[in-house]
Structure 1
Amino acid sequence: MTALLREVIGDVLRRARIEQGRTLREVSDSARVSLGYLSEVERGRKEASSELLGAICGALDVPLSRVLSEAGDELAIEESRAAVSDVATTHIDVSTKVVIPQVVSMAVA
């Protein structure tokens, strides 16, 4: 199953925060977002509004366009993996013969 957009965005935001060596509290204070809500966004449990994403990105000094671009790239990779996996699991050998029995109706009294 493909990841949800909110999960991927949360991963991107968490990576940016950790790369900066900042705590959830520092970013939540700077973004004026509750620590609990920011944690939920990073874990992909809450779908942040565009205003909230803008505030978090501002607090991280990371352009929202970069977060969305990275999230899009990650989703594309995951979708291509899922497509390859689907093809591998649904491969049908064209030389295989399948016999489908004729449907027989039965009268029920």
Structure 2
Amino acid sequence: MVLLRQELGDVLRDLRQERGHTLRQVAGRASVALGYLSEVERGQKEASSEILASVADALDVPVSQIMRQVSDRMATLEGITAHPFDDMSGIPDTIPDELLDDVDRYVPSAR
């Protein structure tokens, strides 16, 4: 069984280490007890949304990026290999001028 808290802890640890920060530095910046943050990183404790936001801020990483990484890891572990919109090869990367004209007509500040 894939545990969200374990994957979240792994992502937080990876991000902290990639940035060259110690657990003590991040705990101090996030105003989180060192032992508690250690338990979160090891997947032993759940992180509240407030704690997650504080740690994300201390790491200078958006919470959405952390959650995306956690989601991607969980999907891989669950055997889901791709997001539904990852393969957009069949969709043109340009918008026809006629459609852009319509957008300009209805939303002048869109471009």
- TM-score > 0.5 by shorter chain: yes
5+ residue gaps, structure 2, are 81-111
Q: Tell me the equivalent position of 1:65.
A: 64
Deviation at 1:3, TM superposition (A): 2.0
Find the aligned partners of 2:42 and 2:2 in 1 and give their Cα distance: 12
Whether 2:5 is the aligned partner of 1:6: answer yes
Taking structure 1 as the reference length, the TM-score comes to 0.71
Taking structure 2 as the reference length, the TM-score comes to 0.70
Find the aligned partners of 2:68 and 2:14 in 1 and give their Cα distance: 14
Matches within 5 A, 1:44-63: 44-63=43-62
Find the aligned partners of 1:46 and 1:56 in 2 and give their Cα distance: 14
Whether 2:14 is the aligned partner of 1:15: answer yes
Q: Larger Cα Rg: Structure 1 or Structure 2? A: 1
Q: Which has the higher contact order (CA 8 A, sep 6+)?
A: 1
Matches within 5 A, 1:1-109: 2-80=1-79
Q: How high is the sequence identity, in percent, across the aligned residues?
A: 54
Q: Which runs of 4+ in 1 moved over 2 A?
A: none
Q: Deviations over 1:49-101 (max 9, x none)?
A: 001000000000011000000000000000017xxxxxxxxxxxxxxxxxxxx
RMSD, aligned CA:
1.0
Counterpart of 1:58 in structure 2: which amino acid? D
Find the aligned partners of 2:56 and 2:35 in 1 and give their Cα distance: 17
Counterpart of 2:68 in structure 1: which amino acid? S
